[in-house]
Chain A
Amino acid sequence: MTLDGKCPSGPLPGKWEKHCHDLKLVSPANKRKYRIIVVGTGLAGASAAATLGELGYNVESFCYQDSPRRAHSIAAQGGINAAKNYPNDGDSTYRLFHDTIKGGDFRAREANVYRLASISSRIIDQCVAQGVPFARDYAGYLDTRSFGGAQVSRTFYARGQTGQQLLLGAYAALSRQVRAGTVRIHPRTEMLDLVVVNGEAKGITVRDMVTGRISGHAADAVCLCTGGYTNVFYLSTNAMGSNVTATFRAYRKGAFFANPCYTQIHPTCIPVTGDHQAKLTLMSESLRNDGRVWVPKVRADRRPPHEIPEEERDYYLERKYPAFGNLAPRDISSRAAKEVCDGGHGVGPGGRGVYLDFSDAISRVGEGKIRERYGNLFEMYEKITGEDAYKRPMRIYPAPHYAMGGLWVDYNLESSLPGLFVLGEANFSDHGANRLGASALMQGLADGYFIIPHTISHYLAQTRPGAANQGDPAFIQSVEACEALIKKLLSIKGKKTVNEFHRELGRIMWEDAGMARSRESLERALRRIPELRAEFWENVIIPGGEAELNQELEKAGRVADFLEFGELLARDALHRNESCGGHFRTEYQTPDGEAKRDDENYCYAAAWEYKGDGREPELHKEPLVFEDVHLAVRSYK
Chain B
Amino acid sequence: MDLTLFVWKQSGPEAPGRLEEYRAKDITQDMSFLEMLDMVNEGLIREGRDPIAFDHDCREGICGMCSQVVNGVPHGPLEKTTICQLHMRHFRDGDTLYIEPFRARAFPVIRDLIVDRSGLERIIRSGGYISVHTGGVPDANVILIPKADADIAMDAAECIGCGACVAACPNGSAMLFTAAKVAHLALLPQGRAEGARRVCLMTEEMMKEGFGSCGNHYECQSVCPKGIKVKFIAKLNREFIKAKVKGG
Contact = CB atoms under 8 A, between A and B. Distances in A.
Interface of A: 47, 50-51, 54, 65-67, 69-72, 74-75, 84, 86, 122, 124-131, 133-142, 158-159, 161, 164-165, 168, 171-173, 175-176, 178-179, 185, 187, 210, 239-241, 273-274, 276-279, 281-282, 379-380, 383-384, 386, 449-450, 453, 495, 497, 499-500, 541, 543-544, 548-549, 551-552
B59 A129 contact: no
14 contacts: A66-B118, A72-B57, A126-B132, A129-B132, A131-B188, A136-B145, A140-B147, A142-B140, A158-B157, A239-B59, A274-B30, A281-B60, A541-B48, A543-B49
B2 to A, nearest CB: 15
Contact of A239 (B28, B57, B140, B146): B57
Contacts of A552: 45, 51
A141 B144 contact: yes
A126 B140 CA distance: 8
B117 interface: yes
B214 interface: no
Contacts of A495: 46
Contacts of B221: none
A276 B57 contact: no
B111 A279 contact: no
List the 10 closest A-B pairs by CB distance, nearest first. A140-B144, A172-B129, A129-B137, A273-B30, A128-B140, A136-B150, A133-B154, A70-B63, A239-B57, A133-B153
Given A278-B38, A495-B46, A497-B46, A383 B144 contact: no
Contacts of A273: 30
Interface string B126-150: 1111111111011111011111101
Contacts of B145: 133, 136, 140
A172 B130 contact: yes
A125 B157 CA distance: 18
Contacts of A210: 110-111
Interface stretch (B81-89, B91-99, B167-175): B81-89
B22 to A, nearest CB: 15
A520 B28 CA distance: 37
A135 B150 contact: yes
A543 B38 contact: no
Given A67-B121, A70-B63, A175-B121, A453 B51 contact: no
A276 B31 contact: yes
A592 B58 CA distance: 38
A67 B143 contact: no
Contact of B50 (A127, A140, A453, A543): A543
B191 interface: yes
Given A125-B140, A172-B128, A497-B42, A380 B31 contact: no
A178 B40 CA distance: 39
B235 interface: no
A134 B150 contact: yes
Interface of B: 11-12, 28-32, 34-35, 38-39, 42, 44-46, 48-51, 53, 55-65, 78, 80-81, 85-87, 89, 110-111, 114, 116-118, 120-121, 124-135, 137-141, 143-148, 150, 153-154, 157-158, 160-161, 184-185, 188, 190-191
Contacts of B131: 176
Given A69-B64, A497-B45, A543-B45, A274 B144 contact: no
B165 to A, nearest CB: 16
A442 B137 CA distance: 17
B126 to A, nearest CB: 7
Contacts of B116: 66
Contact of B57 (A54, A65, A383, A453): A65
A36 to B, nearest CB: 15
A158 B140 CA distance: 14
B50 A544 contact: yes
Contacts of A240: 56-59
A456 to B, nearest CB: 14
Given A138-B147, A240-B59, A159 B154 contact: yes
Contacts of A69: 64, 161
Contacts of B111: 210, 548-549
A125 B188 contact: no
A135 B148 CA distance: 10
Contact of B190 (A128, A135, A158, A175): A128
Given A278-B38, A384-B85, A386-B87, A67 B190 contact: no
Contacts of B48: 541, 543
B141 to A, nearest CB: 5
A20 B160 CA distance: 38
A541 B43 CA distance: 12
A618 to B, nearest CB: 36
A543 B144 CA distance: 56
A319 to B, nearest CB: 32
A72 B89 contact: no
Nearest to A128: B140
A161 B157 CA distance: 10
A481 B113 CA distance: 31
A281 B65 CA distance: 16
A453 B134 CA distance: 10
Given A140-B146, A276-B31, A276-B39, A126 B62 contact: no
B65 A54 contact: no
Given A176-B129, A543-B49, A67 B120 contact: yes
A143 B187 CA distance: 19
A11 B30 CA distance: 56
Contacts of A168: 157
A65 B56 CA distance: 9
A428 B46 CA distance: 39
A495 B42 CA distance: 11
B134 A450 contact: yes
A241 B57 contact: yes
Nearest to B146: A140
A335 to B, nearest CB: 25
A279 B124 CA distance: 31
Contacts of B153: 131, 133
Given A67-B120, A384-B87, A549 B129 contact: no
A505 B111 CA distance: 30
A278 B58 contact: no
B146 A136 contact: yes
A240 B37 CA distance: 14
Contacts of B146: 136, 138-140
A622 to B, nearest CB: 30
B230 to A, nearest CB: 20
Given A86-B141, A276-B39, A278-B38, A130 B130 contact: yes
Nearest to B158: A161
B45 A541 contact: yes
A84 B140 contact: yes
B132 A130 contact: yes
* Most chain A beta-carbon neighbours within 10 Å: one of B39, B120, B147: B147
A175 B154 contact: no
Given A67-B161, A171-B124, 7 more contacts: A126-B137, A131-B191, A140-B145, A175-B125, A278-B38, A281-B59, A383-B87
Contacts of A54: 133-134
A453 B89 CA distance: 50
A173 B125 CA distance: 9
B61 A380 contact: yes
A247 to B, nearest CB: 19
A541 B51 CA distance: 12
